[in-house]
Amino acid sequence: MLIELIMCEYNRFRSSNPFGEIHVLPIEPGVRLAMSVSNPEDTLRNIVRSKIVFRALRHVVKRVESFNSGRFPVAIELVGLGGSALLAEDVGDIDVVLGCSVKREYVAEWKSFKRLLHEKLGELWLIITEVSSRRGRATIDAIISEYYDRLRELGFKDWWIREWFRWLRV
């Protein structure tokens, strides 16, 4: 599968054509942005002018690769940039848009995981408050490390905890 970076020039993005001029840059899974494009700053300098945006893109691609290596019911195939990240040197925030496709083999499991999250919300809340009372702030990593067996007792499968639970935020 190929991950593509899509950038819409800001001045055209707001025109009557909402997609403007689109520039596509393929990123192969497992290959960092800087390695898959010999010199991304040279390739995109007419579109992206801020070095902060290039750093952010590298981070996003790394996170996409991590996400796509998991057993989620979707795969991220497109990473888009918009707003001041395009054509501006001084960017306030970086607008990122993701394009996803469905991985049908995980949809049923994902629905079961979500249903169990909703059903066990009360028990999960008790775990969160217990961790918070001892640590000051609960994190998902602390919950998993301290309550792994309890999560299993609540019905969460091992691979759900490893693959999906770790992405939750408290």
Query: How many whole angstroms separate alpha carbon 45 and alpha carbon 3?
Result: 20
Residue that is written with structure tokens 């991950």 in the block = 3
Overall average pLDDT of the 58-71 stretch: 85
Q: Is the pLDDT of residue 78 over 80?
A: no
Domain layout of the chain by residue ranges: 3-102, 107-167
Q: pLDDT over 90 for what percent of the chain?
A: 36
Overall average pLDDT of the 37-55 stretch: 65
Tell me phi and psi for residue 105, to 5 degrees.
-65, -15
At 54 the pLDDT is: 80
Q: pLDDT over 70 for what percent of the chain?
A: 71
The rounded mean pLDDT for the chain is 76
Where do runs of H (alpha helix) occur along 27-120? 33-36, 40-44, 51-68, 107-119
Instruction: Using pLDDT thresholds of 50, 70 and 90, give the confidence band for residue 133.
Output: very high
Calculate the alpha carbon distances from 153 to 72, 83, 92, 115 in Å: 23, 46, 45, 16
> What would the pLDDT profile of 81-113 be if each residue is shown by its tens digit?
777 776 677 877 887 878 888 999 999 999 999
Contact between 37 and 23 under an 8 Å Cβ cutoff? The reply is: no
At 109 the pLDDT is: 95
> What SS3 class is residue 80?
strand
Contact between 71 and 159 under an 8 Å Cβ cutoff? The reply is: yes
